[in-house]
Structure 1
Amino acid sequence: MDLPLNPFKAALRARTPQIGIWCAIGGSVHAESLASCGFDWLLIDTEHSTVDMPTVQSMLQAVAPYPTHAAVRPGWNDAVELKRLLDAGAQTFLIPYVQTAAEAAQAVSAVRYPPNGTRGVAGITRASRFGLIPDYTSRADAEICLLVQVETAQALTNIEEIAAVPGVDGIFIGPADLAASMGYPGNPDHPDVQDAVLDGIRRITAAGLPAGLLSLNPDLLERAAAAGSVFTAVDVDQAILLRGARALAQKWKAGA
């Protein structure tokens, strides 16, 4: 059995736009249904959800047969958590709240085997197809994609230094936390925040890395794409569900 390739990482290297969706609702059937919708990637979020480790693994298994790549956002830049997600078979990670080049380097180390990093070695895991992939430990690093999330005004000032860290494959801007750090909590659509997001995307691109973001604002998404965003998440599953359900309730109650 051969090492699974990471088409998402290859697409980012080629700067092929990747349109994604945020998956905050846990469950393998839910993840599989989203995987059938035609997105290039989906993000299994464990930072701002109650999705636990066994559920992540079942969601990865459910998505695997589909032409959609499943990335995972851990709760924190934590080597132990990343080690478990790696062993579960995740190949792409979005690390939240990375402020400095040193923190980015810490994340890189956590997802790479020695001598290039500090990932612990386990022989019988889903990642190695339970030991059936020859030389897994010497080959796995090549297919791991590490994205770091800059989401404060301070982090934006360090974009060039973070982008220069070997092993960082892309930089993602988080508008919601950025808005809070800029003094506009709950208002990621504020013009100052949007300007900062677009400037960050241009700087990430100029630094030689693909940029990404998540937004529910169609205008910002279009402007971000024009500024150079490569991996762009265009909605959140729970938001889609609630918009539809609330609109349906309003329609029928208004007509009652």
Structure 2
Amino acid sequence: MPAPKNNFKAALKAGTPQIGCWIAMANTYAAEIAATARFDWLLVDGEHAPNDLRSILDQVRVIEGSGSTPVARLPIGETWMIKQYLDAGVQNLLVPMVESGDQARALVRAVQYPPHGVRGVGSSLARASQFAAIPDYLKTADEQICLLVQVENRLGLSALDDILTSDVDGVFIGPADLAADMGHIGNAGHPDVVEAVLDAITRIVAAGKAAGILTLDPDMQRKCLELGASFVATNIDVTLFANALRGAAEAGLALVPD
């Protein structure tokens, strides 16, 4: 009995566009609501949301029971942390701030068992193997892990071609941090930023890797998909919730005369 098949990874490899949403409420109930929305994938954020491994695992569990695929973003790409996420059964990882090919290759080693990698062998204790109920887990896990790395500054862009020679499954471009690094903080729509992002997407696709992005701009979403981006997040649960509540408050208050 092998490790569970990763349909998200298979879709990316086939170039089938996957539309997703950022999940940053750090709340299982909110994640469960998001899981009813029928996005292809939901990103549980451990970098900028107040999550830890336990809260991420709780959200991953409820998403797994839906038609959406859970992806988890680590706060940082440390080998020990990657090991914990993988043992918890998270098959799809997004690692922020990757700036070199050597860093990307080290991350690839972190998600693979020896002799190809350095992932610690403790699967008999792990949810990933259904607590040793999957007898072939150790031999089949590597091919089902999807490693996505995030390039989000000029240093990362300058190393993009080298990063693309590694065995990462995909590269995600982070427009917000890139805009800040380019001197346009808070303005991911600046023409220079847009040009850099679209150029990166083109290079990633040409290298045969999955290209990804989070953007709330419908025009930018379409452009990235037209270039071949295969995992595109189109919204954020926190933003949707905040905007809906503020709109509801404004409409309600407008019912009362000054």
TM-score, structure 2 normalization? 0.96
2:193 alignment counterpart:
193
CA distance in 1, matches of 2:161, 2:224: 19
1:46 alignment counterpart:
46
| CA displacement, residues 191-248 of structure 1 (integer Å, 9 cap, x when unaligned) | 1111111111011111111111001111211111112211000000000001111111
Task: Report how many residues are paired.
Answer: 255
Matched-pair identity in %: 44
More divergent stretch after superposition (8-17 vs 209-218): 209-218
1:98 alignment counterpart:
98
2:209 alignment counterpart:
209
1:236 alignment counterpart:
236
- Contact conserved, 2:21 with 2:237, CA < 8 A, in 1? yes
Structure 1: which 5+ residue stretches go unaligned? Answer: none
2:16 alignment counterpart:
16
Shift of 1:30: 1.8
CA distance in 1, matches of 2:84, 2:246: 38
Shift of 1:2: 4.5
2:29 alignment counterpart:
29
CA distance in 2, matches of 1:217, 1:7: 27
CA distance in 1, matches of 2:191, 2:252: 36
Counterpart code for 2:9: K
More divergent stretch after superposition (83-92 vs 217-226): 217-226
Q: Report whether the alignment pairs 1:59 with 2:63.
A: no
1:147 alignment counterpart:
148
Counterpart code for 2:98: V
CA distance in 1, matches of 2:155, 2:163: 12
CA distance in 1, matches of 2:4, 2:66: 14
CA distance in 2, matches of 1:156, 1:200: 7
Q: Report whether the alignment pairs 1:248 with 2:248.
A: yes
Instruction: Name segments (4+ residues, structure 1) moved above 3 Å.
Output: none
| CA displacement, residues 108-160 of structure 1 (integer Å, 9 cap, x when unaligned) | 11111111111111122100000100121111001000001000122112221
| CA displacement, residues 154-174 of structure 1 (integer Å, 9 cap, x when unaligned) | 2112221111112x0001000
Secondary structure in 2 matching 1:127: helix
CA distance in 2, matches of 1:133, 1:79: 24
Q: Report whether the alignment pairs 1:223 with 2:223.
A: yes
Structure 2: which 5+ residue stretches go unaligned? Answer: none
Shift of 1:106: 1.2
CA distance in 1, matches of 2:209, 2:64: 27
TM-score, structure 1 normalization? 0.97
CA distance in 2, matches of 1:182, 1:93: 26
More divergent stretch after superposition (53-62 vs 87-96): 53-62
Counterpart code for 2:251: K
2:162 alignment counterpart:
161
Shift of 1:28: 2.1
Counterpart code for 2:134: I
CA distance in 1, matches of 2:134, 2:25: 31
Shift of 1:29: 2.2
CA distance in 2, matches of 1:254, 1:28: 33
